[in-house]
Amino acid sequence: MIELAFSILASDFAHLADEVAAAERGGGSIVHIDVMDGHFVPNITFGPPMVKAVRSITKLPLDCHLMIENPDAFIPDFAEAGADMVSVHQEVCRHLHRTLQLIEQHGMKPAVVINPATPVDTLIEILPMVHHVLVMSVNPGFGGQKFLPLALDKIGLLAEIREELGLNFRIEVDGGVAHDTVAQVVQAGADMLVAGSAVFSPGKTEHNARELLAAARAAAEIQD
């Protein structure tokens, strides 16, 4: 099933509850929260207090993407704040298996992220234990970047591996997902679509979410 994970990084923070509600009315079923520390990526965004605030305004699952240098130290805090899914970067985890176990031990669904320059092969050993793999289709740090087509090959390879190994992890893609890229992303094999700039726009958020999701699902039907 194709799902839209709307990224609140692109929303109007002064009206966050209204923005989240509008995206949900448009069919968005996951709230994507980009956590950046200014070290692993060149930006600073949200922490557990923001997750707690979002938890209080929606019942949708909270998908927390940790772009931080020491995720192990903060996993308990995100669990306490109400996160449902936590994804960590392969590039920053010295002991990736242990980190994913820690996420699961705190009652959250573990996921792993790879940057544009990181090969899919680095994930083979941990694929059986993740809820999803997040493929970055931009270099992380800022919203509104242009989609990098090399992500399509990674998505396709992950879909092949998933079938070959009989696994059921989901494939999420983040970065530049919009009306002009969503069809090829879905046809490559992605089923969790992170979108921010393509969704949030004053007075148009509900419409944008609905249109983007419709385009994604139409592409999936063509593929089938």
Given 34, 63, 84, 191, the catalytic residue: 34
Residues of the chain with pLDDT under 70: 223-224
pLDDT at 224: 64
pLDDT at 202: 92
Q: Please enumerate, as own/partner, the contacts of 161-164 that have beta carbons within 8 Å and a separation of 24 or more.
A: 161/120, 161/124, 161/127, 162/127, 162/189
Domain range annotation of the chain: 3-223
- In whole angstroms, give the CA distance from residue 208 to residue 132: 25
pLDDT at 222: 83
The CATH fold of domain 3-223: TIM Barrel (3.20.20)
Structure tokens at 142: 């800022």
pLDDT at 103: 98
Given 18, 174, 180, 224, the catalytic residue: 174
Q: For 142-157, how does the pLDDT look when each residue is reduced to its tens digit (9 = 90+)? A: 777 899 999 999 999 9
| 12 belongs to the catalytic site | no
Q: Give the C-alpha distances (Å, rounded to integers) separating 135 from 13, 17, 155, 156, 196.
A: 26, 28, 7, 11, 16
Predicted TM-score (pTM) of this structure: 0.96
